[in-house]
Amino acid sequence: MDLPTSNFSTILMDLKTMLGHDNFSTILFYTPCVKVLCSIICVILLLYWLFFIPLNWTWYKDQWEDDVNDNGINCNSKRSAINRLRSTRLRNNKELPPPYPNGWYGILESSKLRAGESKHISCLGEQLIVFRSQGGEVYILDAYCPHLGANLSKGGRVIGDNIECPFHHWSFRGSDGMCTNIPYSSNIHSSTKTKKWTSTEVNGFIFLWYNVEESEVPWNIPKSVGVAKNELIYLGRSEFYVNCHIQEIPENAADLGHFQAIHDDNVVCGYWNQKRSIFSILGYHKWTASWNCTDLSHVAELNISHTFNLFGKLKCLRMNVIGKQIGPSYVHIILKSPTFGDVEIFQTIIPVEPLVQKVIHRFYSSRKMAPITKFFVFTGSVMFQRDMSIWNHKQYRSNPMLVLEETPLKKFRKWYAQFYTVNSKSFQVANNHDW
């Protein structure tokens, strides 16, 4: 019995000596079993991040080549960058189409709105409140109370399917905007209501139907079968603010000539001055693209065949891309890779101002594809930022000089023109809004 006691006493003495040592943490770290344990924990955390934590890529800052102004001040905030660029381009706004085309707009991600919660959304020249009932239904109303103008989303309470104004506790029903309760009055006239907006929730977004022609019937937004059945799960997103007219972004799909000019350089080269990058020796992307209208008048389709030429010789990463442009602001992208499998991407454009677009991409795939999907979030974001470096500094040309090979651009503009109508708010009128 003395032997175990003696051994235990020895261990305690050794531990006491280590704890009193000035370099105890260094000694502990270099103990073999501790190093192995730390390595295992790091690997587990890395695997957990790769497979279970969605990647969120946001880009708000002005990180273009003109970061410093004439006074030597670094203007790198989103708002200062947008205001600076806008002021230099509004001098030539006569060519711009109406800033708010008719159609569906994904104004909020479903995950951003919990049951019993409301959000204030400013977009399309409108001020809106989006709220979710306790039963999970989503409703969109005008944000300001018709009584005395309080913002329903700032302190308002969701009660059942109603939103209660924080100012006088008037309640408005989400399904039709009707006032259902005034605490101090039983005399509620049928005209006491606020505007109710048509909405739907699909593919991870809450969509608003915006159309200045009230007689227009909304078309259906197709559901992704894989997402609906939970075969494809949410694995990441990207978010950008772009200083351009909304039409310029979807028009990129029909501008087939820009793929070689901007997107051939490998993603490791970055998004700015990629032609000068030392990483260009790694290889380049090769794109073969076509753009066409479809049988559905509001849907157009981009088809891309992609390969990566490693060191300019070895062809790999073969992939087919199908991008369905559904209306003026929504795109459903399907990446089909024989090596990795399928990835679905949903892109929405939200005009927060006439020349400021908020663009969101949401990425879905199977769990086993999570690591490679993170790579697609990165590559897609770099490619999009290359386009942004052009959009943020260009002017819209209503009558551009085109060559024969750019026929798809003419077809696109004719197709996209259907989303403008005689009552569409002109750029001049929309820009006079008191932002």
Residues in CB range of 70: below 8 A, 6 or more apart: none
Which is it for the CA torsion 218, 243, 203, 333, positive or negative?
positive
Quote the CA–CA distance of 174 and 140 in Å, as a whole number. 7
**pLDDT at residue 232, as a whole number:** 95
Q: Strands 233-242, 55-59: parallel, antiparallel or unpaired by DSSP?
A: parallel
- Let me know whether 131 and 183 are in one domain: yes
- Looking up residue 127, the CATH number of its domain turns out to be 2.102.10.10
Nearest residue to 385 (alpha-carbon basis) of 266, 242, 285: 242
* Averaged pLDDT score across all residues of the chain: 86
Q: Give the confidence band of 21 by pLDDT, cuts at 50, 70, 90.
A: low
- Let me know whether 238 and 158 are in one domain: no
Q: Is the pLDDT of residue 206 over 90?
A: yes
- Write the pLDDT tens digit of every residue in 275-297: 777 777 888 889 999 999 999 99
Q: How many domains does the chain have?
A: 2
- Let me know whether 164 and 305 are in one domain: no
- Let me know whether 242 and 364 are in one domain: yes
Q: Is the pLDDT of residue 171 over 70?
A: yes
CA–centroid distance for 58 within its chain:
8
Classify residue 72 as left (phi > 0), alpha (psi -120 to 50) or beta: left
Residues in CB range of 191: below 8 A, 6 or more apart: none
Tokens of residue 63, six digits: 């990180």
Tell me what percent of the residues of the chain surpass a pLDDT of 90.
66
Quote the CA–CA distance of 213 and 204 in Å, as a whole number. 27
- Let me know whether 137 and 276 are in one domain: no
- Write the pLDDT tens digit of every residue in 328-352: 999 999 999 888 889 999 999 999 9
- Write the pLDDT tens digit of every residue in 31-41: 677 677 888 88
Residue 66 resides in a domain: no
- Let me know whether 205 and 233 are in one domain: no
Residues in CB range of 402: below 8 A, 6 or more apart: 409, 410
**pLDDT at residue 67, as a whole number:** 40
Residue 31 resides in a domain: no
**pLDDT at residue 9, as a whole number:** 60
pTM (whole model) above 0.95 = no
- Let me know whether 184 and 329 are in one domain: no
Q: Is the pLDDT of residue 96 over 80?
A: yes
Q: Give the confidence band of 244 by pLDDT, cuts at 50, 70, 90.
A: very high
What type of residue sits at position 382? Answer: V
Residue 273 resides in a domain: yes
Q: Give the confidence band of 271 by pLDDT, cuts at 50, 70, 90.
A: confident
Q: Could you count the other beta carbons within 10 Å of the beta carbon of residue 275?
A: 10
**pLDDT at residue 36, as a whole number:** 78
SS (H, E, C) 18-36: HHCCCCHHHHHHCCHHHHH
Quote the CA–CA distance of 248 and 266 in Å, as a whole number. 24
Quote the CA–CA distance of 162 and 131 in Å, as a whole number. 9
Q: Is the pLDDT of residue 86 over 70?
A: no
Residue 399 resides in a domain: yes
Q: Could you count the other beta carbons within 10 Å of the beta carbon of residue 358?
A: 16
**pLDDT at residue 23, as a whole number:** 57
Residue 283 resides in a domain: yes
- Let me know whether 181 and 261 are in one domain: no
- Looking up residue 406, the CATH number of its domain turns out to be 3.90.380.10
Q: Give the confidence band of 73 by pLDDT, cuts at 50, 70, 90.
A: very low
Mean pLDDT of 368-395: 93
Q: Is the pLDDT of residue 87 over 90?
A: no
- Let me know whether 256 and 164 are in one domain: no
Residue 59 resides in a domain: no
Tokens of residue 30, six digits: 């270099």
Residue 24 resides in a domain: no
- Let me know whether 197 and 305 are in one domain: no
Q: Provide the domain limits for residue 316.
A: 224-419
Rg of the chain's alpha carbons, rounded to an integer? Answer: 27
Could you give the angle at which helices 32-52 and 370-391 cross, rounded to 10 degrees? 60
**pLDDT at residue 358, as a whole number:** 96
Residues in CB range of 61: below 8 A, 6 or more apart: 76, 77, 78, 81
Residue 389 resides in a domain: yes
- Let me know whether 204 and 348 are in one domain: no
Q: Is the pLDDT of residue 48 over 60?
A: yes
**pLDDT at residue 14, as a whole number:** 58
CB-CB contact of 187 with 132 (8 Å)? no
Q: Is the pLDDT of residue 81 over 70?
A: no
Residues in CB range of 35: below 8 A, 6 or more apart: 29
- Let me know whether 138 and 231 are in one domain: no
Residues in CB range of 322: below 8 A, 6 or more apart: 301, 302, 303, 304, 333, 334, 336
Top-ranked range on mean pLDDT: pick from 1-15, 103-117, 210-224:
103-117
Can you name the residues that pair with 304 across neighbouring β-strands?
Answer: 289, 321
